[in-house]
Structure 1
Amino acid sequence: MSSLALPAAARTLGLAFSGLRSLWQRWFLWALLAVLVFALLVTVVWLAGRHEVSQVQATLDRDTADAVADLRSGLQRNAQNLRATQAGAPSREHWLDQAAALLREHREWLRIEWRDAALAPVGAADTPYRRSMFDPPSRGADQSDIALACTAARKLGSLAYSPSHYVSLAQGNGLEVMELCLPIDAGGYLVATYSLRDLLVELVAPTLSRGQEVAFTEADGTRLVAIGVPRRVGTRVFTSQQLVDLPGATLMLRVDGWRAAPDLFPNLLTALVTAISIALVSVLVLLARDTRMRLRAEGHLADALAFRKAMEDSVITGLRARDLMGRITYVNPAFCEMVGFSVDELMRSGGEAPYWPTELAHEYQQRQAMRLAGGVPPREGFESVFMRKDGSRFPVLIFEAPLRNAQRAQTGWMSAFIDISEQRRIEELSRASQERLQASARLATVGEMASLLSHELTQPLAAIASYASGSLNLLEGSGHDEVAMAVRRIAEQADRAGQVIRSVHDFVRRRDRTREAVAPQVLLDAVLPLVGLQARKLGVAIEVVLDDGLPRVVCDRTLVEQVLLNLARNAMQAMDMPELVDRVLRLRVARARAIGTAAAAPDARRWLEFSVADLGSGISDEVAARLFTPFFTTRSDGMGLGLSLCRTVVEQHGGALMFEPNRPRGTVFRFTLPIA
């Protein structure tokens, strides 16, 4: 009896141990899964906190960098406004009125001074927003801060700043100030005194100091001035520093942000990850059961997919499928080759496709929204423009149709694309040939009209000059000097008109013109009276800059004067905008190196560069591509021949006519002439 019970008990005990081992293994796996999920949650919470801190710091660094850029731009504009007070060699009283007006507009300035070459004061104005804090005897030529800034400005040939220094006020108060020294062309300096605190208030964005502290510090961290909100208890400090590198002075812009830590973001993320983790475990259990069924279904679908793919890969028409949300669900190799993007790049693009041109993206979004809303595309298709991965554009013909499933329910849209670049290229060649023929005919007509007008206008101009000479003879000795001067001007302009007409006639007939050595100042003096009339009408200030010791240039004086006059008029018309306040036309002559093939020749000539700069709205890329094309113009009353003729005249002299963007705005036209 006992011999039979022992094996049964042993088997029972073995089964019990086996059940316990299986139960322990199952619970061990669940415990391990729980530990892993808990570790994941802790890691996510920690990473979320680190992410929030890094986001706050990155935002603070970006705002500080933007504030430094705004500060530099504001200082540059102030320097330009300060320089403008010397336009036209003003008198001391006129300059004082301009300085007072500037001080009312710029609270950051405490004082503006005009000093001669020896730093002796010529005139000074104080801000109306503070009591005068400077003693005139102490603002002499021996003041160290001003002398230091002006010495640096003289070495740099431009503006310079002095290191910040402290100015004491009454009742133990004081201000941290900085001097700006700006050399002027007529000799001497303009000195402006900045209040560092007001500089922060006026030129740094107000939102930067909202909820945080903004300060100027020395390079070693010494705080000079600060504005904003002091630190609150229980907050973290986020600090960002940016270097404000000014000529002659170095400052640090420091921003201290206060932030309570952490926000609700990590808590929401933790709950979200926990829910997703539980759902993931449940989905894994369900997927394990469904795997067998899917494997059987995949075997049947593999053959069908292989057959369909072979057919789609063999066509040369691009195919694209989108779902009802606008996401790309399928593209064939022909489409990928057409746009230059891989299948993965197109699938990850989302709602905005990477092959949409930037300038047409809004139009394509509207068209896609209309399709997704149920709009029916035209059956004959429509044309559009796509962009390859390398940025090149090409035209396509698109056919679209609803994409329906086995239940006849629409699941998206299927599109077919045909590249019509070659067709458009042939059409463009044909159109360009027609345009060249038309342009040649119009140029021939213009040449004939120019020859006819030059012949017909010569006699009336000669008669005007004769009448003017006769009038001068009659007025000689009569005491009517003003009338005689006016008649003399009429004679001069009639002679100038005759020269222009003869130059145009010779230019059209391709005759060699007589060139002479002319001083740059003479060329500018000839056109400035005519430019000044239009400048006064449009409210444009003219600024002429000539480098010292410029030699003469070899040129056809009449044609080059017309080039300068045409460029100056174009520049002033570009600034004829009601919203534009600063209208300055800058004419400059300086030395330039030889350009083009002349630079590579062993006997390369030297050149002078003439530049005409405006502060208008600039030239767009589309206009720049056709700027020198004959008969192309952006004005309703223009003929489109001015710039084309100007470039032809400059190139006949061996030079080149170029243009580039002006800073901070506008355009600069430059052309070169050979030195005598």
Structure 2
Amino acid sequence: MLGPLVSVLLFLSAILTALVYFTREDQAREREAVARDTEYAQQRLRLRLLERQEQVMRLARDIANRTLEETAFVAQAESLVLQHPELLGVHWIGPYREVITGFNSPVVEPRGQRRSGQRLPPGLADGAFELARDLHQPVYSRPLRRDDGGWSVLMFVPFENQRRFGGAVMAELALDNLLRYGVPPEVLARYAVTLEGEDGTLLAGEALAPAPRGPLGHLPWAARPQSHALSLSPVGNSVLVRVEGLRAERDRTAEVLFWLVGAMSVATIWMLLANMRHSRRRLQAQRALLAETNFRRAMENSMLTGMRVLDLEGRITYVNRAFCDMTGWSEEELIGATAPFPYWPESEHEHLMARLQDEISGRNTPGGFEVPVKRKNGSIFYARMYVSPLIDAQGRQTGWMTSMTDITEPRRIREELAASYDRFVTVLDSLDEAISVAPLHSHELLFANRMYRNWFGEGSAGHERMLELCAAVPVLPAQDVQDQVDSLMGLPADALVEAIAEHAQIHVPELGKWLELRTRYLTWVDGRLVQMLIATDITARRQAEEQAKLQAERAATASRLITMGEMASSVAHELNQPLTAISNYASGMISRLRQGRIETDELLGALEKTARQAQRAGSIIQRIRAFVKKSEPHPTLSDVGQMVANATELADIELRRHLVRLNVYLAERLPPLMVDPILIEQVLINLLKNAGESIQCAGRPPGQRLVELTVTPRQVDGRDGVEFVVRDNGCGIPPEHLERIYDAFYSTKTEGMGIGLKLCRSIVESHHGRLTARNLYNGEQVSGCEFSVWLPAAAAPAKPDAGSDKTSLPTLG
């Protein structure tokens, strides 16, 4: 018996020692905190006083410098008083203590206001005015009691008038407002801050009432309020700033802990001595406690929700606070109530009565049920209720325990989600595109909009059919059941980390439509990797493109015919020479044969010359026929030199007619081009013919009519290619028309049709090239024009796939 007793006494001693030690440590920290916050409050008050002092000193300095008249002084004084609540008034005091002018705060009672002409009483505030006059510096008076019971101090700032004392600016500061607005709120929240006089008089603030000492107030751990005081500078020692800590509940807690530890020690000793005697009584108490615990435990299972207990007859016997807060009905109004209950909506009485009968009879759903509940203010909210039987200590059912949870917000969110899904489906169903989503390696169709269902039906056959027709979209092969290495093997790596859409154009014979197919990989809501297809009907666009392609081909053929028509006279003149030579050779041979004066060698020579002239004429006609022949664009691997020779052979006919000399500079080892040679020859002929017409328009003398064609290799954006440069010394292009020369049906020539350069640019861009133009200048005068055509080499562009469309020319605008 002594062992437990000694242990209890040692435990009590250790608790008391620790309590005393930690209490003293806490008090020391509190003293340091109070002293530090007192200095902080004193500094903030001092700064606020110095700010007011500086503002008043500026007024005094302006008066001394005669830059401030009485009216302006009153305006500035009014601004200061209204902006700073601690100022009760600012006045201009003459050298003989008369009030010249000033402004009083509206809160000052009329009898306490100072008016112009009023003389300050001698020795006011212990002679602060005279002290300021003698010291020539700001002086604060001792605290003065106002008529309204508050305290204030007067600040006198003297100024000189022609090196003589000219008076002072007097500012009256309310100590209560200074304390209220000068001390930081965080200090006021933790401490009782007051302003006291040097004799202990309370000047501002509310001092704490002395706390009543408890029966253990004299003990070492008893909490005592900490207090610290500092003089308020620059007022002086007449005003002290006192900060007193607000008394926490630590004193009462320490006393309670002491008594609790003591009571527990005594009770432990008593229990040790009387354990055997009270064992039977304790057993009875434990049985009663077990019954109460079972009852409480059933209610505590849903402590965060509303709880209601019904007896076997359906009468409410218990409701917790949460249930009352939800419904708005008090416990007194609900206890003993029978159906219909006050929180039942009137329109739901029949339904809720049937639900109550199910509860009482034990027909309850394990997942609970939703019911509307009416608050006392008439508003309705929805709740989910769970019902379980209430069992007593003897195992008998005494009623039903019901827990209620407010599901108004989850129900609203669920309805909004359903509405959002409906809007989402409505938008997708109204699109003109067919959208389908299906997982990989599966015939399941996760989503399909209305357009997809109209085209392909409800199943995934349409989705799979589009993937089969689309060669540009990667389709994964079916994984073997035994191959579990990587279910994503074969997918493009970039599509797994970025939402990159693939585009392709496919023809679906079943629909008779051309579809533009876009696809991307997505992570579905269940975490699976799925593939989304977006199919757009582009049949009309394809037809328009085919029509545009046909129109472009017709425009190119028409342009070549127009070019030949313009060159008709030159071509006729060019053909006239070999035909005349053939006629002369034939006439000469006939005449000499009739006279019998021709030898066989001479006849063979004449016939050979005649054949060469006929071949020359036939070559010209064949070249013209090939140039104007209507054919579809057919890119082939073409030799640059041959294309230049064919183009210059025809263009030189027209240039010679205008007495224009053509110089061709062809670089060696030019790469071949993957182009349609006829179209490129058409571009060169058009540019050379335009150059000759520009020189003809400029009226150059015959010796200065020159067109240069330079063909050299050149790299553009890191790609190899060939550049054709046509340079002339004609009249050039007007600068204001330089940006419009490629527009359809726009021409700078009086008889031009405006399709030549437009068509040339379309041909060059269809071969992935560039056509540019610029004027050549001699000083500020235009001396010619230069057209540059750049075409990529054959190795640069990739060959088109079998399923891709052929390159088509743009339509003419």
Question: Would you call these one fold, judging by a TM-score over 0.5?
Answer: no
More helix by share: 1
